[in-house]
Chains A and B, each alone.
Chain A
Amino acid sequence: MASRSGTGDSSVSSAAGSGNERTTQLLVLGAGPGGYTAAFRAADLGLAVTLVDRGAALGGVCLNVGCIPSKTLLHAARVIEEAREMSAHGIVFDPPRIDLAELRNWKDKVVAKLTGGLAMLARQRKVEVVRGTATFVDPHVVEVATDNGSERIRFEQCIVAAGSSPVALPFLPEDPRVIDSTGALELRKTDGRLLVIGGGIIGLEMACVYEALGARVSVVELTGQLIPGCDPDLVAPLAKRLRGRYEQVLLGTKVTSVSAENDGLHVAFEDGKGSSTQVFDQVLVAVGRTPNGKLLDCEKAGITVDERGFIVSDKQMRTNVAHVFAIGDVAGAPMLAHKASHEGKVAAEVAAGLKRHFDARVVPSVAYTDPEVAWVGLTEGAAKAQGIAFEKAAFPWAASGRALSVGREEGFTKLLFDPETRRVLGGAVVGVNAGELIAEIGLAVEMGADAADIGLTIHAHPTLSESIGMAAEAFEGTLTDLYLPRKKRAT
C-alpha cells in the first residue's frame, strides 16, 4: 500500500492515574515516520524526548503494517509477473510454487530489521520510549495506559503524531474473511475470489499482490475512476492493464451489503443500472483512512480538533495551543509518510527554538501498482479547478528504447509548465519505477527549474529517466526522438 504514516488505531483510556508521573521536555505521541523523525531530530537538538506509541515495535503503520511490508510483497508480485511475461519472449518458467509461510516470514524479517534499527537509533539518542496509549489530561499532562497500568507524563511541549486508522464500513459482518489492509498483509488466503472494496492506492496495491499470488480479483469503486483525484490520463494505462487481468473492475458502483454465509461472502452491488449480488471468498476493505485526532481527549488540553478528526496546525506545525504541535496523518491530508517526516522535522526544530516553517512546495504521491503511477506538484485537475494557466508536454514511453527493452511501453512522462516563466509546476510518471523517477520532477519544482534547465541536463541513455528530459525538450521544441509538428519546433 502507499506510504501511510501514522501509528494506527489507539483506544481511549479512562483509567485513573496511578500516581506515577514522569516529566519530559518534549513528548512525542506516535512513533510512525512523523513521530520518530520528530523525536530523533529534537533529541539531536538537545531536548529530552519521550516517545509514546501503542505498538510493540516503533515505526507506526508505515513500517509495521503499511508501506514497508506492502512493498516487500509487491516486489514478490513483480518477480512472479516478470517471469510470466517472459514466456511471450522465449523464456518459459513453470508456474511458481508459492510457500506463503516463507513469504510471510521474509516480509516479517524485513519489518523486524527496520523497526529494530529504529529502536537502536532511539537508544543511541537516549530517547525514552513508552509503550501505551496516551490521552490528554490537561495542557501539560498525558495519561498513558500501558500493559502495567497507567502512568502520567508531564511535558513542556508535545508533538502529536497519532496517525490515522482504516475506515470501517458499518454494514460489514464480523468475519475472518473480511479483512482490511493490515489483515491483507497477513496473507492468510491468497486464492479464490477476492473483492477489493475501494479503488484507491491502498486497495489497488493489495489487489496487485493477491492477483500475482493467485487470487481472482475484483475491484469495486464508488466513484467513476480508479485512484480518485488523480488525473484521468495517468490512470488510463493502469486501468487498461487491470481490466485485462482482473475478473472485474466495477466503477461507479456501491456495495450495499455483505452477508457472511457458509459458501462465501454474499456482496450486493448497486450501480446506475440496478443491483446485483455476487459471492466472494474474501473481501478486502480499503475505503480510506480517518485521522486519530478524536481519540486523544484533545479537549482536555484545549487543542482544537475539526469535525473529521484532524488537528489543525499552522505552517510551523503548531496547534491552537502554542506548545503543542500536530504532524502527519492526524494534521491533515495527504496522509503520506514522507509528508509526515518532513513535518516532524519542522515541529522538532521549532520546538527547539529554531525558526522553521513548512515551506515545501510539493509532496509527491505514488501508487506502487503495476504500472506505477506517480505525480508531484500541480495536476491538470487542480490547475483547471483553480484556474492556473499551464502548458503540458508529454513523452510517451513507446518511443523510449529502455521502456521497450523491458517490455513495458504503456507508460508516459508528463510535465506541466508555467507558460510565462516556463518553470515546471508539476509532473507525473506512469510506468515501471515511476515512484523513483518522480523525484527529479520534485527537485525541479522546488528549485524553480524551467523547461530548458531540465532539457539541457544530460540524462543517461538508455534510461527511463531520459523521458523527463525529453518531455522538457518536447515543451522547448528541441526534441528529436519524436516528430513534432512544425509549430512546436524551436529554432
Chain B
Amino acid sequence: MAGNEIHVPDLGDFTDVLIIDVLVKVGDRVEVESPLITLETDKATMDVPSPRAGLIAAMHVAKGDRVSTGSLLATLEDEGAAATAPAAGGAAPATAAPTIAKPPAPAQPTTDAAPPEQDAAKVKSEESPGAATPSPARGPQPSPAAPIDEAAFAAAHASPSVRAFARELGVDLGKVRGSGRKGRVTGDDVKAFVKAILSAGAPSPAAAAALPRVPVVDFAKFGPVEVVPLTRIQRISGPRLHASWVNVPHVTQFEEADITELEDARRSLKLRAANEGIALTSLAFVLRACVLALQKYPRLGCSLDAGGQNLVMKKYCHIGFAADTPDGLVVPVIRDADRKDVFELARSLGELSAKARTGKLSAAEMQGGCFTVSNLGGIGGTAFTPIINAPEVAVLGVSRAAQKPVYRDDAFVPRLMLPLSLSYDHRVVDGADGARFVAFLAEALGDVPLLMATLT
C-alpha cells in the first residue's frame, strides 16, 4: 500500500501550504504528471502532479487543508493490481472499477457542513486573528508545522491544565521558563512566552506605536469610490517590502553605462539566438555583468545573519529578477547564474518570466536569491530607487537606455547610455564599495568581449 501513496513533493522552506483546488476525486484514473491538487505557495500557485499512473483509491486532503512536504495526498490503486486482479478472478476489468467507482464526496469534512454559527465564528476569527476564539469544526488538519519537542514538552514542570493551554496556543512547553515555585510553569508563563515571541517576530506593538500613523480618510465623502482588494501577491509582498523599508538603511547609488557597443553586439546576435528560441534581451547582458561584479565584490551578495553580528557569505550565485505579472510583482531566481553564459541567462529569463506570468512558478523557483535586478527599462523612466529584497543586501534598478551626448575625444558624441540605480544595505555595504560596484558594472557593460567571454 505504501508504495501507492502520493505525498507532497519538496516545497523548499514552505510549510502549511494551502490547497486551493483538488483536481481529482476517488475513482479517477490519473496518468503520470496529471495534476492532482493546486497549492498556493508563497506568491504563486503550483500543481502537484501524480508521480505514477493509476486509479485514485483515496484522497487524504481536501480544498482548504494545509499541507507540508511529505504530507499524504492520495492513495493510488495499483495499476498492476487492478489489471491482474480481474484476470485472476476471470472477470472483465470493468467489474473491478465499479466497486470503488462510486465516488465518495471529496473529502471536505466540516468545511461545508459546519453549523451556521460555527461558520460565523470562523469568519469572525479570520477578521480579527488577535481575538482568537477557538474556531470549532475546522476539519482535519495535519499536526502543526512548528515542530514541538515532545520529550521536553512531556517533561515540563506543568500541570495537565497548563499543558492543555500550551497545546491550545501551539507553545513548545519545553522552552517556557517556569516562574512558579520550584520552576513550575504556570498559565501566565505560557502567555508571557507567546507575547515575547509575537513581539520579537512581527513589528512589536511598541515599534508600531512609535511610527506615526497615516490618517484614515473617509474618501466617500469626496465622491464615489470603489473598494478593490489587493491581489494575493500584493498582500504577501506588501509587508515584506515594508519590513525591508523600515528595517534596512537604504542608500541608492546612480550610474550610467555606455552600452552602444553592447547594443550593436546584441542586435547582431539576436537572430542567431532567436533561431534557438532565445529572446536575447539586454537584461541578459546586465545579469552577466552582475555575475562578474558579484564575483569581484561578493559582499554585495551576502546576507546579515539573524543576530546581525555576522555576514553569511554565499558560495553560490543565484540572481533574482523582478517580474511584472497581472497579479503583482514576483521575483523568480536564476540558479547558478555564474555558470550560465549570456545565451543561457537569456533562456532562463524567458522561461521563468513565462512561468511568472501564468502563475506557475514553484516555490523553489522563488527562493535562494543572492541579489536582485529590477528592470524597468522597457517601460521608461530615467532612474528610480529600488527597495532591497531583504535579507539580500543589494538590488540593481535598470531604467530606459537613451542616446545621450557624451564628451569624448574633444567632442560630444551620441552614445547609448543605460541608467543604473544600485540600492544597498548600508549596514553591510559602505559607500565606497557601492560606488565601486556600480562603476565596475558600467565598465563591464561597455566591454562586450568580457561579457561574451567563454565561462571558465
- Known pairs A139-B58, A157-B110, A353-B110; A361 contacts B136 (CB<8 A): no
Establish whether residues A156 and B113, one from each chain, have CB atoms under 8 Å apart when the complex forms.
yes
- Known pairs A47-B137, A323-B140; A301 contacts B58 (CB<8 A): yes
Establish whether residues A45 and B160, one from each chain, have CB atoms under 8 Å apart when the complex forms.
no
Establish whether residues B150 and A353, one from each chain, have CB atoms under 8 Å apart when the complex forms.
no
Contacting residues, chain A, for B143 (C-beta < 8 A): 314-316, 318
Contacting residues, chain A, for B141 (C-beta < 8 A): 322
Contacting residues, chain B, for A304 (C-beta < 8 A): 1
Could you tell me which residues of chain B, from 45 to 72, have a CB within 8 Å of some CB in chain A?
A: 57-61, 65, 72
Per-residue CB proximity of A185-224 to B under 8 Å, as 1/0? Answer: 0000000000000000000000000000000000000000
Establish whether residues B159 and A322, one from each chain, have CB atoms under 8 Å apart when the complex forms.
no
Establish whether residues B134 and A356, one from each chain, have CB atoms under 8 Å apart when the complex forms.
no
Establish whether residues A353 and B107, one from each chain, have CB atoms under 8 Å apart when the complex forms.
no
Besides A323-B109, A355-B144, 9 new A-B residue pairs in contact (Cβ under 8 A), listed by A number: A139-B104, A139-B107, A157-B110, A322-B61, A355-B168, A355-B170, A361-B154, A423-B157, A447-B160
Residue tally, chain B, CB below 8 Å to A: 46
Establish whether residues B105 and A353, one from each chain, have CB atoms under 8 Å apart when the complex forms.
no
Could you tell me which residues of chain B, from 77 to 126, have a CB within 8 Å of some CB in chain A?
A: 100, 104-105, 107-110, 113, 115, 118
Q: Which residue of B lies closest to A323 (CB)?
A: B140
Interface of A is mostly: loop
8 contacts between A and B (CB under 8 A): A25-B110, A25-B113, A139-B58, A139-B59, A156-B107, A356-B167, A359-B160, A450-B182
Establish whether residues A46 and B160, one from each chain, have CB atoms under 8 Å apart when the complex forms.
no
Could you tell me which residues of chain A, from 294 to 341, have a CB within 8 Å of some CB in chain B?
A: 299, 301-302, 304, 314-316, 318, 320-323
Establish whether residues B154 and A359, one from each chain, have CB atoms under 8 Å apart when the complex forms.
yes
Contacting residues, chain A, for B139 (C-beta < 8 A): 156-157, 323, 353
Establish whether residues B57 and A359, one from each chain, have CB atoms under 8 Å apart when the complex forms.
no
Q: Which residues of B contact A (CB under 8 A)?
A: 1, 5, 26, 57-61, 65, 72, 75, 100, 104-105, 107-110, 113, 115, 118, 134-144, 150, 153-154, 157-160, 163-164, 167-168, 170, 182, 184
Contacting residues, chain B, for A157 (C-beta < 8 A): 109-110, 139-140
Is the C-beta of A140 less than 8 angstroms from some C-beta in chain B?
yes
Is the C-beta of A407 less than 8 angstroms from some C-beta in chain B?
no
- Known pairs A140-B104, A157-B109, A323-B140; A302 contacts B167 (CB<8 A): no
Establish whether residues A141 and B104, one from each chain, have CB atoms under 8 Å apart when the complex forms.
yes
Contacting residues, chain A, for B108 (C-beta < 8 A): 156
Out of B59, B65, B136, B140, which one reaches A354, CB within 8 Å?
Answer: B136
Contacting residues, chain B, for A447 (C-beta < 8 A): 159-160
Q: Which residue of B lies closest to A360 (CB)?
A: B160
Complex CA distance for A354 and B113, rounded to whole angstroms: 17
- Known pairs A315-B150, A323-B109; A138 contacts B136 (CB<8 A): no
Complex CA distance for A68 and B207, rounded to whole angstroms: 62
Contacting residues, chain B, for A450 (C-beta < 8 A): 182
Per-residue CB proximity of A411-449 to B under 8 Å, as 1/0? Answer: 000000000010100000000000000000000001110
Establish whether residues A156 and B109, one from each chain, have CB atoms under 8 Å apart when the complex forms.
yes
- In the complex, what's the smallest C-beta–C-beta distance from A43 to chain B, in angstroms? 12
Establish whether residues A46 and B1, one from each chain, have CB atoms under 8 Å apart when the complex forms.
no
Establish whether residues B136 and A353, one from each chain, have CB atoms under 8 Å apart when the complex forms.
yes
Contacting residues, chain A, for B65 (C-beta < 8 A): 322
Complex CA distance for A361 and B26, rounded to whole angstroms: 40
Could you tell me which residues of chain A, from 133 to 160, have a CB within 8 Å of some CB in chain B?
A: 138-141, 154, 156-157
- Known pairs A25-B110, A141-B104; A448 contacts B184 (CB<8 A): yes
Establish whether residues A299 and B164, one from each chain, have CB atoms under 8 Å apart when the complex forms.
no
Is the C-beta of A352 less than 8 angstroms from some C-beta in chain B?
yes
Contacting residues, chain A, for B115 (C-beta < 8 A): 46
Complex CA distance for A375 and B254, rounded to whole angstroms: 78
Establish whether residues A302 and B136, one from each chain, have CB atoms under 8 Å apart when the complex forms.
no
Is the C-beta of A131 less than 8 angstroms from some C-beta in chain B?
no
Contacting residues, chain A, for B105 (C-beta < 8 A): 140, 154
Contacting residues, chain B, for A448 (C-beta < 8 A): 157-159, 184
Out of B75, B100, B142, B153, which one reaches A322, CB within 8 Å?
Answer: B142
Contacting residues, chain B, for A104 (C-beta < 8 A): none
- Known pairs A299-B1, A302-B75, A360-B160; A353 contacts B100 (CB<8 A): no
Establish whether residues B60 and A321, one from each chain, have CB atoms under 8 Å apart when the complex forms.
yes
Per-residue CB proximity of A16-56 to B under 8 Å, as 1/0? Answer: 00000000010000000000000000000111000000000
Out of B113, B137, B164, which one reaches A353, CB within 8 Å?
Answer: B137
Is the C-beta of A289 less than 8 angstroms from some C-beta in chain B?
no
Complex CA distance for A209 and B254, rounded to whole angstroms: 96
Contacting residues, chain A, for B60 (C-beta < 8 A): 139, 302, 321-323
Is the C-beta of A78 less than 8 angstroms from some C-beta in chain B?
no
Could you tell me which residues of chain A, from 335 to 372, have a CB within 8 Å of some CB in chain B?
A: 352-357, 359-361
Contacting residues, chain B, for A47 (C-beta < 8 A): 137
Establish whether residues A353 and B138, one from each chain, have CB atoms under 8 Å apart when the complex forms.
yes
Establish whether residues A355 and B104, one from each chain, have CB atoms under 8 Å apart when the complex forms.
no
Establish whether residues B140 and A138, one from each chain, have CB atoms under 8 Å apart when the complex forms.
no
- In the complex, what's the smallest C-beta–C-beta distance from B65 to chain A, in angstroms? 8
Establish whether residues B167 and A357, one from each chain, have CB atoms under 8 Å apart when the complex forms.
yes
- Known pairs A25-B110, A138-B100, A140-B104; A359 contacts B163 (CB<8 A): yes
- In the complex, what's the smallest C-beta–C-beta distance from B186 to chain A, in angstroms? 12
Contacting residues, chain B, for A314 (C-beta < 8 A): 143
The 3 closest A-B pairs by CB, nearest first: A156-B109, A353-B138, A140-B104
Q: Which residue of B lies closest to A422 (CB)?
A: B182
Establish whether residues A359 and B1, one from each chain, have CB atoms under 8 Å apart when the complex forms.
no
- Known pairs A302-B1, A360-B160; A321 contacts B58 (CB<8 A): yes
- In the complex, what's the smallest C-beta–C-beta distance from B83 to chain A, in angstroms? 19
- In the complex, what's the smallest C-beta–C-beta distance from B191 to chain A, in angstroms? 16
Contacting residues, chain A, for B72 (C-beta < 8 A): 320-322
Contacting residues, chain B, for A360 (C-beta < 8 A): 160
Establish whether residues B140 and A46, one from each chain, have CB atoms under 8 Å apart when the complex forms.
no
Q: Which residue of B lies closest to A48 (CB)?
A: B113
Q: Which residue of B lies closest to A349 (CB)?
A: B136
Q: Which residue of B lies closest to A321 (CB)?
A: B60
Complex CA distance for A141 and B139, rounded to whole angstroms: 17
Contacting residues, chain A, for B136 (C-beta < 8 A): 45-46, 352-354
Establish whether residues A302 and B57, one from each chain, have CB atoms under 8 Å apart when the complex forms.
yes
Contacting residues, chain A, for B1 (C-beta < 8 A): 299, 302, 304
Complex CA distance for A318 and B160, rounded to whole angstroms: 21
- In the complex, what's the smallest C-beta–C-beta distance from A273 to chain B, in angstroms? 46
Establish whether residues A359 and B164, one from each chain, have CB atoms under 8 Å apart when the complex forms.
yes
